[in-house]
Amino acid sequence: MSLRIETTDVLIIGAGPAGSVAAAFLRQQGRSVMILERQQFPRFSIGESLLPQSMEYIEAAGLLRDVVEAGFQYKNGATFARGDQTTWFDFRDKFSPGWGTTYQVQRATFDDVLARGAERMGAELRFQHEVLAVEPGERPRVTVRSPEGEEYVVEAAFLLDASGFARLLPRLLDLERPSNFPVRGALFTHVRDNTPAGSFDRNKIVITTHPEHVDVWYWTIPFSNGCCSQGVVAEPSFMEKYTGTDLERLQAMVAEAPNLRRLLVNAEWDVMPVRQIVGYSANVSSLVGPGYALLGNAGEFLDPVFSSGVTIAFKSAQLAADCLERQFAGETVDWEQDFSEPLRMGVRTFRRFVESWYAGGFQNIIYHQDQQPEVKRMICAILAGYAWDRNNPYVADDNGRRLRVLEELCSA
Ligand code: FAD
């Protein structure tokens, strides 16, 4: 029996940040857009600290009001702690022009807000519809299973895979390539922190390095409801040394960082079960193919340390929407040149800093006592997500020489 066929201009797989923002951009262009999302929202997701650069895409997509009205925790920077050293960056004092503030968000609400915003703008949003199979080509087709178990086909002029860590097209089309980062894992939960009012700058994410292991770090992300997201990132060989329940293991690791021990002394740990993700770094042979492009985590995912994931997801959505606008207007678009290359340029910037972080060099830079204010503002711009601003010498630093020189100066 042949399956029912529906059509749309652009079909988007996944209603995470990449999918919803792409849908909003395409609706602004007047395209018909269908988003197929296998889960029912709101649903938990990790990735709770945004970067100011992401606000530019939220605003351009017409979703700023939705996000502002949701009442998330305001964010203006990042605090770093290592042993008895503490330093912080205020994202409003940065080299690149643009937004200097953003939010720390519970992703269940944030993703729902973006998806509903795209729906309000006219995207057809179907929850609990799972894409099972894909046929790329001039008019790509996907096979979908509805919540009632019925299968049907959607045919589109273009397909955007925004399926996140599920990495649907990379898996189905054999595009997956190993990341060159070692396998790392994260153990995390939400806690009610019970910190006395005024004792803790809730407007900043706290990134703490383990006192003895330079490549083990913790995030503490305050929310507007009195809770924090608390996580630790390490290689599995480190995590395996801790026994007991996941909660006991997480608490034992957190207790090894003196600043976190103090900060969370009165915390309640029963807000949410502890979760674990291992081996999230991923890459693909190509971000584009016949009739499709990969957005956000469905393409490349680096590492969580600089909270760059959602920003990269939004950037990919914006680049794809720009390419599609020209393609629907009859232009021939070179997707490698106009989508993959510009996206990867910023990802490479983040990659240089992530590699330097784990090797310890970037940590020496941020804790250096005599930072030149102009250099600090350039570094701050990258931490704020402005990884595509080639006026910043540390973005235009394609071979990483400038960063290496700074590492050497700061390690002296
Ligand atoms: P997702 O948000 O994963 O959305 C994909 C959607 O596709 C999901 O809703 C899924 O249900 C749906 N889907 C999957 N398969 C199908 C299918 N077959 N059919 C239909 N729907 C499907 N980023 C930050 O910006 N800040 C942070 O602080 C941060 N912290 C992180 C911490 C950790 C430990 C990790 C691992 C990542 C972190 N990230 C962070 C990264 C962030 O989680 C991701 O980059 C971001 O969620 C990517 O968004 P996305 O839209 O590409 O995918």
The answer, yes or no, to whether residue 412 has pLDDT greater than 90, is no
As beta bridge partners, residue 187 has 232, 276
On average, the pLDDT of the chain sits at 97
pLDDT of 371: 87
Condensed to tens digits (0 to 9), the pLDDT of residues 97-131 reads: 999 999 999 999 999 999 999 999 999 999 999 99
301 CA distance to ligand 1 centroid (A)? 10
In SS3 terms, 242-303 reads as CCCCHHHHHHHHHHCCHHHHHHCCCCECCCCCCEEEECCCEEECCCEECCEEECHHHCCECC
Q: Is residue 52 lining ligand 1, measured as CB closer than 6 Å?
A: no
Ramachandran region, residue 244 (left: φ > 0; alpha: ψ -120 to 50; beta: rest): left
Q: Using CA atoms in the order 211, 408, 373, 103, what is the torsion angle rounded to 10 degrees? A: -50
Mean pLDDT of all residues in 178-185? 93
State yes or no: cis peptide before 393, omega within 30 of 0. no
The answer, yes or no, to whether residue 51 has pLDDT greater than 80, is yes
Condensed to tens digits (0 to 9), the pLDDT of residues 369-400 reads: 888 999 999 999 999 999 999 999 999 999 99
Position 403 confidence tier, pLDDT thresholds 50, 70, 90:
very high
Mean pLDDT of all residues in 74-91? 96
Provide the residue count of the chain. 412
Which residue's CA is minimally distant from atom 18 of ligand 1?
Answer: 131
The answer, yes or no, to whether residue 1 has pLDDT greater than 80, is no
Of all residues in the chain, the percent with pLDDT exceeding 70 is 100
pLDDT of 33: 98
Count of alpha carbons within 13 Å of 157, Cβ hemisphere only?
13
CA angle 69, 298, 175 (to 5 degrees): 170
Which atom of ligand 1 is found nearest the CA of 297? 52
Condensed to tens digits (0 to 9), the pLDDT of residues 158-180 reads: 999 999 999 999 999 999 999 98
Pairing of strands 227-234, 217-222: antiparallel
Identify the three-state secondary structure at position 410: helix
215 CA distance to ligand 1 centroid (A)? 23
Mean pLDDT of all residues in 401-412? 94
Count of alpha carbons within 13 Å of 187, Cβ hemisphere only?
20
Give the C-alpha separation, 36 to 124, whole Å: 8
Q: Is residue 166 lining ligand 1, measured as CB closer than 6 Å?
A: yes
CATH dotted code for 185-278: 3.30.9.100
Count of alpha carbons within 13 Å of 291, Cβ hemisphere only?
19
Residues of the chain with CATH 3.30.9.100: 185-278
Question: Which DSSP state fits 210?
Answer: -
Which atom of ligand 1 is found nearest the CA of 130? 19
315 CA distance to ligand 1 centroid (A)? 14
What class, spelled out in words, does domain 4-74+104-178+282-347 have in CATH?
alpha beta
Q: Which has the closest alpha carbon to 132: 227, 53, 38?
A: 38
54 CA distance to ligand 1 centroid (A)? 15
pLDDT of 198: 86
Residues of the chain with CATH 3.50.50.60: 4-74+104-178+282-347
Helices 341-359 and 309-328 cross at an angle (nearest 10°) of: 170
96 CA distance to ligand 1 centroid (A)? 27
Position 279 confidence tier, pLDDT thresholds 50, 70, 90:
very high
Identify the three-state secondary structure at position 22: helix
45 CA distance to ligand 1 centroid (A)? 7
The answer, yes or no, to whether residue 289 has pLDDT greater than 90, is yes
Say if pTM beats, i.e. exceeds, 0.85. yes
Which residue's CA is minimally distant from atom 36 of ligand 1?
Answer: 280
165 CA distance to ligand 1 centroid (A)? 6
Which atom of ligand 1 is found nearest the CA of 188? 34
Which residue's CA is minimally distant from atom 30 of ligand 1?
Answer: 47
Mean pLDDT of all residues in 248-270? 97
Which atom of ligand 1 is found nearest the CA of 129? 20
